Structure 1
Amino acid sequence: MLTRRHIRVKVLQTVYAYNHSVNPNIDVQEKFLHHSIGQMQDLYLLMLELLVAVKDQAEDFLAKSQNKYLATDSEKNPSRTFVDNKVLNIIANNAVFSEIIDKKKLNYWALDNEYVSIVFKELREKDWYQTYLGKTDTTLKEDQAFIAKFYKDVIAPNDKLYDYLEDKRLTWIDDFPIVNTAIVKMLGKISEKNASDLLVPDTYKNHEDREYALQLFRKVILNEEKLNLQIEGKTPNWDQDRIADIDLIILKMAIAEFLYFPSIPVRATINEYLEVSKEYSTPKSSIFVNGILDKLVKEFTENGDLNKMGRGLQ
């Protein structure tokens, strides 16, 4: 689920926190890094649980409509197409998913049900929801497509939900886009057979990514002086004190990848950190960062300092 770019962002945030700590401790910040990354899985699970919560509220809505004193024919015999949606029921009935929700105490929607109501109300206002309710005997593929649209068009862009998540855990705001993308992709693949694996995915793609996160953080912190020296003289119009903190950390992280990660291509490092700088620093940061990194790559290449293994890595 986690991409290398997102790992870089997490390391960037952790280095920033370390640099601004009153009593910086590398072991403490390392634990924070893994905790911050682990919270991404919590957000993934929570957003899937929101789908189940909306399903439950829809079922309750149907029951109340049927019990009205002067219920109309449509209220007495409402469409169950949404509450019987195969994807929603796969999620709701999956024991592995339910167990981890309980274990992690992710019962937010039971405590803050008003956000479930906001999402359900917005869904009911959509023309395509009413069209979907008019269908009978939908296929798994149709149900997958509907829930994916529901997630993309109603849940993901909801500002009130976004504010709620930001209040709960600040790190979730950076995780939200990648979690949303992962969930929409998953909704198109889910079935009874693969549900447990897809509903509770590993945060890291593999062991190498986990090790990469740890080593990148450590290389930047433990080689602070050497990385600073590499930057000195490359910014004739800027003293290091005048370089934005985020830009300085981005430069150090990129240089660390040049020098200590032989399997990562130079161009991949530059492209990734330019994108990170566009999103997390000033409007002109990417131009500044690109200029410095290009100078450094030429210098490292001439001096033989780039220890890259394999074709296409430079």
Structure 2
Amino acid sequence: MLNRRHIRIKVMQSMYAFKGTESDDLSKDEKFLLHSLDSMYDLYLLILALLTELHKKSKNYNEKLQKKLVKSDSDKNPNTKFQENQLLQLISSNRMLQEHITKHKLNYWDLDFEYVDIIFKEILNSDLYETYSGDPESSFKKDKSFIIDLYTTIIAPNEKLYDYFEDKKLTWIDDLPVVNTALLKVLRKLKLASPETILLPDLYKDEEDREFAKDLFKKTLLNSSKFSDEISAKTTNWDSERLASLDGVLLKMALCEFQKFPSIPYKVTINEYLEVAKEYSTPKSSKFINGILDKIVKEYQSKNIHQKSGRGLM
């Protein structure tokens, strides 16, 4: 689920929030970083819990229609395609998934049911739902396509849901794009015969990625002063405010990768931090960061220090 860029973003956020010194015990701050990364999985589970609640809502909605004292023809024979959607049934009946949701105490929608109601009403009023419910043919392929379209066009862009996630946990806003991509990837792979574990992908690609997060955080902090001096020496018109800003954090992290991670190419490191700077820092930051990192790499190469190892490495 996690990619290296998102790991870098999480480390950047933890670095920026860090208020200690290089000599401090970093165990608490490392724990905060890992918790922030782990919370992404909670967001993933929470969204699947929302799909479960929408499925449940469709059943309750049809039952209420049939209990009305004065029924229209449509009330007497409600459309049940949504509640019979095979993909939603797989999610709702996935025992392992539901146990994870309960274990992580993510049954938020029981109390925050109004958000389920808001999204359900949007679904019922959508052209997408009208087309789907009016289609006389049913298949797992069509059911899956409908839910994927529903998620991308109605659920994911919902502003009230976006605000809800932000209120629950501020860092979830940065996590949403990655989680949305991961969720859609899982749904597209889902088949009727898929094992229950398919809905529970690993947070990290491998243990190496988790260690990368910890090492990048610790090694950047432990060498912060050294990196600051090295960065300052590369410009005669140094703006001290930039070093204390997010730009300074990104530069230190880049230097850490240059020096402490020999298997990561210079080009990969530079490109990654330029993209992060474009998204999180000022409009001029990427140009500023690129200029300094380019000077540093050229110096390393001329002095034949901090060489990279492996195929295709610069």
Provide the TM-score with structure 2 as the length reference. 0.96
Give how far 1:126 is off: 0.8
Give how far 1:225 is off: 2.0
One-letter amino acid matched to 1:97? L
Bigger CA drift: 93-102 or 237-246? Answer: 237-246
The alignment covers a number of residue pairs equal to 313
For residue 18 of structure 2, give the secondary structure of its aligned residue in structure 1.
Answer: helix
1:249 is the counterpart of 2:246:
no
Contact 1:90 1:191 in 2 (8 A): no
Contact 1:219 1:256 in 2 (8 A): yes
Deviations 1:190-209 (A, max 9, x none): 12443522322211110110
Name the structure 2 match of 1:303. 303
One-letter amino acid matched to 1:79? N
1:110 is the counterpart of 2:100:
no
Contact 1:250 1:273 in 2 (8 A): yes
Name the structure 2 match of 1:132. 132
Name the structure 1 match of 2:258. 258
Name the structure 2 match of 1:74. 74
Name the structure 1 match of 2:37. 37
Mapped to 2, the partners of 1:195 and 1:18 lie a distance apart of 42
Mapped to 2, the partners of 1:147 and 1:190 lie a distance apart of 12
> Please, which runs of 5 or more residues in structure 1 have no aligned partner?
none
Contact 1:59 1:83 in 2 (8 A): yes
1:184 is the counterpart of 2:184:
yes
Mapped to 2, the partners of 1:153 and 1:121 lie a distance apart of 14
Give how far 1:160 is off: 0.5
Give how far 1:311 is off: 2.5
Q: Identity over aligned residues, as a percent?
A: 51
For residue 188 of structure 1, give the secondary structure of its aligned residue in structure 2.
Answer: helix
Deviations 1:77-126 (A, max 9, x none): 11111111111010100110011111111011111000001111111111
Mapped to 2, the partners of 1:313 and 1:151 lie a distance apart of 40
One-letter amino acid matched to 1:51? L
Give how far 1:137 is off: 4.8
Change (3 A) 1:195 1:236: farther
Name the structure 1 match of 2:157. 157
One-letter amino acid matched to 2:112? D
One-letter amino acid matched to 2:126? K
Bigger CA drift: 224-233 or 140-149? Answer: 224-233
1:64 is the counterpart of 2:88:
no
> Please, which runs of 5 or more residues in structure 2 have no aligned partner?
none
Give how far 1:242 is off: 4.3
Contact 2:242 2:248 in 1 (8 A): no
One-letter amino acid matched to 2:168? K
Mapped to 2, the partners of 1:131 and 1:143 lie a distance apart of 12
For residue 287 of structure 1, give the secondary structure of its aligned residue in structure 2.
Answer: helix
Mapped to 1, the partners of 2:182 and 2:128 lie a distance apart of 23
Contact 1:45 1:199 in 2 (8 A): no
Name the structure 2 match of 1:194. 194
Contact 1:254 1:270 in 2 (8 A): yes
Change (3 A) 1:161 1:58: same
For residue 306 of structure 1, give the secondary structure of its aligned residue in structure 2.
Answer: coil
Deviations 1:176-199 (A, max 9, x none): 111111111211111244352232
1:97 is the counterpart of 2:97:
yes
Give the aligned CA root-mean-square deviation in angstroms.
1.6
Mapped to 1, the partners of 2:134 and 2:216 lie a distance apart of 53
Mapped to 1, the partners of 2:134 and 2:262 lie a distance apart of 58
